[in-house]
Amino acid sequence: MDQKEIVQRIDFLINELNKHNHNYYNLSKSLISDYEFDSLLLELQGLEKMYPQFAHIDSPTQRVGGDIQKSFTTVKHRYRMLSLGNTYSKEDLQDFDQRVRKEIEGNIEYICELKYDGLAIGIQYQNGIMTQAVTRGDGSQGDDVTANVKTIRSIPLKLREGDYPADFEIRGEIIMTRSGFAKFNEKRKKLGKQEFANPRNAASGSIKMLDAKEVSKRPLDAYLYYVVGDDLDFTNHYQSLETARQWGFKVSDTARKVNSVEQIFDYINYWDKARNELDFEIDGIVIKVNNFAQQKQLGFTAKSPRWAISYKFKAEQVVAELLSIDYQVGRTGAVTPVANLSPVQLAGTTVKRASLHNADVIKSLDLHIGDFVKVEKGGEIIPKIIAVDLSKRKDNAEEVSFLTNCPECNTELVREEGEAAYYCPNVYQCPPQIKGNIEHFVGRKTMDINMGEATVSALFDKGFVNSVADIYSLGAEQLIQLEGFKQKSVSNLLISIEKSKDIPFEKVLFALGIRYVGETVARKLAQYFENIELLKSATYMELLMVDDIGERIAESLISYFLDAKNIEILERLQNYNLNFEIIRDNETFPKLLQNKTFVVSGKFTQSRDDIKQMIMNFGGKNVSSISSKTDYLLAGDKMGPAKLKKAEKLNITIISEDDFYKMINN
């Protein structure tokens, strides 16, 4: 083919594939087989690889993702993404209608729409081509997740021919369908990975992944429901929805025009029952004034529009018989009771189990085996018991008493003061605790070792690993004994283990699984103490000096480092050359603030996190509260008067943001 024919063929393939994508994902019509579609896509990929100068920004090949991002860029919304006021009360809807009619003369028309339970997104289009996709964030700014959103096949990369504005934004909700979620979770379960709690969490977690190629493998979908821009040729909301559908967007056909509160209630009552028949989750109904001129007249509050409100459905309840109670031991040793129930239908699924959370919940419910209990599902996989029908209790029903010993290792359970849960203290001999700690250690947010739950369980059952340190003594002769492991999978796991030695100190610290030390706390501890030796030797008061470290965390850290077994594991990990200190670039940041402690309070031109990072870069330390050992109070706008008063009383040097910049610039 000559150059002209190549360009024509690429254009043809892109148009054909985009057309079939739209038919399949937006209109539920399949006009060609999967094989034919894949053949066209492979041909396009081959041509784009040979002639990259002719590749298009709207090519379907863009949907498979590209390079892994290091982080998301924060983007300020051009038009604020306000949240809607919520209500569970029909009386509140009547009040809303009365407020609207008080402000607006003449007829009022409302649009009722489904309230999707997903992740809000705003997508920018310029000249019909997607240019940016941003999450809601705090309403003023959000994360740029364009690469991930491009993988969602129901969202067009390029609009079909139409009379659309040169520059506009369309908003909607990214979801995972119930059927897609079920298959996705089943696949994760087979791979030994942790299952997601519900479709909303799965959708939200997927969009926040840094690898768009992984996002492209997840069954994400989207419904679009709101067009915003400076040059829109619409007079009402319903017209904008219909037009957006013509442009190629996936817009639900469930929206309805109504003229009264009674009609709003009819719509709500219908979908309250019919929602379980949908293949996606909704948690309520959104009601909007249809006319844009009337919307403008009604205006906004600081947080939400006055012309819209959302009605939230109450959680569905059913009655089931309590057959028995199982007790599960988690990674931290916490023992969680789970009720086994007679099977009942709830929110479109068969429910056989329900969470009881802890001993206090069992006691407050006065549970007896054989009780008929009210079960509610509020979005999680395992519903919860909220009440007992005492009128149906049998005379000889056995009262439920919480366990006194661990169901796994028979160790006597303990309950610390102020804690709701009972714990098994046998950390290093209790199987689920050992496996749970290892699973946490190898996780994606920690050491990122390619080892799922099933692999951890197999290694533990064969006696190859009994602590996280044992991971680094594994060899090919052990791994090859695991079911399903061949030479390639053995090699990949060993490479993954070796690569984890490059993981930075703050993630290693989080991976250790110290109680109450989550990802954020681990990062602050690592940045403050800079190495494990200083952290190990820190006193209780020194720990409290760290920003956001309270008494409970400090006590947990002291206890952890007093345990000889923990010290032994740490020493082994250090001998395996894991990172146990912060590595700083001394040439980039001179230690101008060495040994100086700062309390940062108030609002600044930059974020407080950025300022605290600068303090650490230049050798200083951040503390959360003022004491006689504090060197500087960095005071911003609207700083609390109590800190200022204490600083003045202790003669602490008070500096402004400008003063701080002069310090580091000098």
Q: Is the dihedral of CA 530, 535, 539, 541 positive or negative?
A: positive
> 397: Cβ–Cβ under 8 A, 6 or more apart, which residues?
368, 369, 370, 371
DSSP 188-199: HHHTTPPPPSSH
Cβ(84)–Cβ(308) under 8 Å?
A: yes
Q: Known catalytic residue: 486?
A: no
CA distances from 158 to 71, 127, 223 (A): 26, 9, 17
Our CA angle for 93, 227, 277, nearest 5°, is: 55
Quote the DSSP letter at residue 216. Answer: T
Query: How far is Cα 640 from Cα 607, in angstroms, rounded to an integer?
Result: 17
DSSP 54-119: G--TT-GGGGG--SPPSSPPEEE-SS--PPPPEES-HHHHHHHHHHHHHH--S---EEEEEEE-SE
Q: Identify any residues that bridge with 228 across adjacent strands, giving them in sequence order.
A: 169
Cβ(337)–Cβ(385) under 8 Å?
A: no
DSSP 565-605: HHHHHHHHHHHTT---B----TTTS--TTTT-EEEEESB-S
* Burial degree of 341 (CB within 10 A; 0-12, 13-18, 19+): buried
Residue 268 in tokens:
């709500």
Query: How far is Cα 362 from Cα 400, in angstroms, rounded to an integer?
Result: 7
Please tell me the chain's helix, strand, coil percentages from 3-state DSSP, rounded to the nearest 5: 40, 20, 40
Residue 406, Cβ neighbours under 10 Å: how many?
23
Query: How far is Cα 593 from Cα 584, in angstroms, rounded to an integer?
Result: 14
Residue 25, Cβ neighbours under 10 Å: how many?
17
Query: How far is Cα 630 from Cα 621, in angstroms, rounded to an integer?
Result: 10
DSSP-based three-state secondary structure for 513: coil
> 162: Cβ–Cβ under 8 A, 6 or more apart, which residues?
128, 246, 247, 248
Cβ(145)–Cβ(222) under 8 Å?
A: no
Nearest to 413 by CA among 394, 393, 386, 433: 433
Catalytic position from the list 115, 377, 524, 612:
115
DSSP-based three-state secondary structure for 132: strand
Nearest to 288 by CA among 171, 396, 369, 181: 171
Query: How far is Cα 475 from Cα 435, in angstroms, rounded to an integer?
Result: 19
CA distances from 369 to 337, 364, 385, 390, 421 (A): 13, 15, 13, 12, 21
Query: How far is Cα 79 from Cα 141, in angstroms, rounded to an integer?
Result: 10
Task: Enumerate the active-site residues.
Answer: 115
